[in-house]
Structure 1
């Protein structure tokens, strides 16, 4: 499915900051940024990625922060703060 079609089906650009413990130094945390189109609030793509991480990678997860924004949305209307006339 193309990205445009996914956006029309309410997929949103989702960014996750994943903090994980380094395998050789468990007291240290490393950050990984993941970004993909996903469906909020269940995030099936992110869940698949995190399941893959837990099964196949050595660094145990510490925390995951998620943010998303709809790319296609209604236009925004703003009123002017001032009306100036210049002669």
Structure 2
């Protein structure tokens, strides 16, 4: 599906920062940024990527931070009956 179709289906943009240890230098932490459209609160794509990382990539994960934001959400609307100007 296209990005707009995903957003209309309830997906939001998920950004994750993964800290991992270098395979040859275990005391060195490096970071990797991952971003994709995902469904909150289960985040199936993010967890699938983390599982892939743990199975296929040599650098063991230290920690993962992520944030999720829906790009299309109900807007705030209010009926304004008048305006006041202060000078």
Where structure 2 has 5 or more consecutive residues not aligned to the other structure, the ranges are: none
Please tell me the root mean square deviation across aligned C-alpha atoms, in Å: 2.0
In structure 1, distance between residues paired with 2:86 and 2:58:
66
Under a length normalisation based on structure 2, what TM-score does the superposition of the two structures give? 0.85
The structural deviation recorded for 1:3 is 1.0
> 1:18-52: per-residue Cα shift (whole Å, max 9, x none)?
00001111111101110000011111111111111
The runs of 5 or more residues in structure 1 that have no matched partner are none
Q: How many residues align?
A: 84
Deviation at 1:73, TM superposition (A): 1.2
- CA distance in 1 between counterparts of 2:63 and 2:43 reads 16
- How far the C-alpha of 1:66 sits from its partner, in A, is 1.1
